[in-house]
Structures are given as C-alpha cells and as structure tokens.
Amino acid sequence: EDMDTDVDDEALRQLSSSGGRVVQHHPSLNTYTLSVGSEPGGAPPNLQADVLELSRLILSCCQGK
C-alpha cells in the first residue's frame, strides 16, 4: 500500500534539534512532537527531563507570538 508521506513545510516548523532530540510544531493540528533518539548501549532517554524540555520550548514559542 502506497501511503502519502508528503509534509507541508509551511505547516511544520522545527523548534529545536539537539542531543538526539527534535521538537516540531504542527500548527494545523495545534500539536507539538518530540522525537528522542538514543545510541545503542548508551543511557536510555530520560522521559521526565524530555517532557520538561518540551514544555519549556512550547512556552517560549507561545510567548514569542
């Protein structure tokens, strides 16, 4: 089955990318996503710290409007 994977660049904005983390804003969905990568054998991601960072980025984005 061929799935449509086109992403509208105007509707998707990358807010941050560092340390294996990518935060993106999807304005048409009023949603933010956080993707976290990890190295094999490395420390597992810290979900609590990642969620706090996502919250901080969302607040800074909202305050910048």
Cβ–Cβ < 8 Å for 55, 14: no
CB-based contact 26:7 (threshold 8 Å) = no
Which pLDDT score, from 0 to 100, does residue 48 have? 92
Please tell me the predicted confidence (pLDDT) of residue 6: 47
To the nearest 5 percent, what fractions of the chain are helix, strand and coil? 35, 30, 35
pLDDT at 10: 45
Give 38 or 51, the one with higher predicted confidence: 51
**3-48: per-residue pLDDT in tens?**
444 444 445 566 666 667 788 888 888 888 888 888 888 888 888 9
